[in-house]
Amino acid sequence: MDETTLATVRLRPKADARAIRHGFPWVYADELVTDRRTMALSPGALAVLEDGERRPLGLVTVNPKSKIIARMLDRDPGARIDQDWFAARIARALALRARLYDAPYYRLVHAEADGLPGVIIDRFGDVAVVQPNAAWAESLLEPLVAALVGVTGVTAVVKNGTGRSRGLEGLAEETALLRGEVAGPVAVPMNGATYMADVLGGQKTGLFFDQRDNHRFAARLAQGARVLDIFSHVGGFALAALAGGAVSALSVDASTAALELAARGASASGFSERFSVRKGDAFAVMETLAEEGARFDLVICDPPAFAPSKPALEAGLRAYERVARLAAPLVAPGGYLGLCSCSHAADLSQFRNASARGIGRGGRRAQLLHTGFAGPDHPMLPQLAESGYLKALFFRLDG
């Protein structure tokens, strides 16, 4: 891509160009000169970013409709964003995952940290699911997918074009099979269990790889335990706990489809006799279990993002507190409670405090044993590390 054919956008004189030079990947709308020419650029357009003194900083993608108006793609302002460029980024990402994991089941590309802003790619063996959550990636999806197939050798590629991020970029929702065939849910071996991922119709890409390390820690607490997995999805914590030696596991979720996949995973893992499900609203089911006098040695709650944005933060923290309040009485004396948050807006301290308040309101006292985060296939840029979304707190409750 010839630099002379590209538009040029420029930082305002008071904007901190040093942050960009030192690796910060975003330019906010109030940091950029937003003249008529810049505002007329189509979402996802490529442009050369200059500092206030017109010195080039790199090649960016611009979306005038977004609060993050520009995202850095390449420090070389003359870079060509083509299949070869995508292949180099994907190959670098693949080299890291191949070092970390002995089987090709992982998050292959994690957006900015892997040099592909707004792009998520999860790999399920020979199947890859691509989330082009930014306008530039949507417009360049074909060379991206071609590079993905060429580098990894996957035979099927699914586009999952759903979620809040696409709406913020002005993109429509769409799920489509772009390459090959997918015959039903994909079996995923992980932590000694087999999970079933619905890559065409499930939540996100079909499975939450980010919880893998937290599943493993929970499994260490599960030997000989009665386990309750609330907001279970496809059995994430329950199946890992059964692989770790739990005597029983009950998965609770509002989705019939998710629970069916969890049951199929339990069967494929050889855990069916120790596994059961209960469909219903998680809060209502916890209240019912308390009325029934049910107690479990390990209770895990992994709800959806209650605070996906700052305006939702206060309500989200109240919801996390309520989860902890209802879950704590279900833990047997001396048992364990795991509480998770995938909310970007709620930082670790806020989530920990809400969880502690809830445990106290549930009439229990607790030791905080372990704090978990997303695994290493979900790397972060150091400049964005404070916005790490996934937090998992593991407590031992009083006797």
Active site residues per annotation: 342
Strands of the chain, DSSP E:
7-10, 26-28, 45-50, 56-62, 68-74, 105-110, 119-124, 127-132, 156-161, 174-179, 186-190, 193-197, 226-230, 248-253, 275-279, 296-301, 331-341, 366-372, 391-397
DSSP 11: B
Continuous segment of H or E residues that includes residue 211:
none
Comparing CA positions, the residue from 390, 347, 387, 391 lying closest to residue 25 is 387
Comparing CA positions, the residue from 216, 217, 223, 231 lying closest to residue 297 is 223
- Rounded to 5 degrees, φ, ψ at 96 are -65, -50
Give one word for 274, left, alpha or beta, with left for phi > 0 and alpha for psi -120 to 50. alpha
Give one word for 163, left, alpha or beta, with left for phi > 0 and alpha for psi -120 to 50. left
Give alpha helix (H) positions in 101-140. Answer: 135-139
Comparing CA positions, the residue from 263, 256, 246 lying closest to residue 194 is 263
Contact, 200 vs 175, CB < 8 A?
yes
| Residue 3 CB partners (closer than 8 Å, separation 6+) | 48, 77, 78
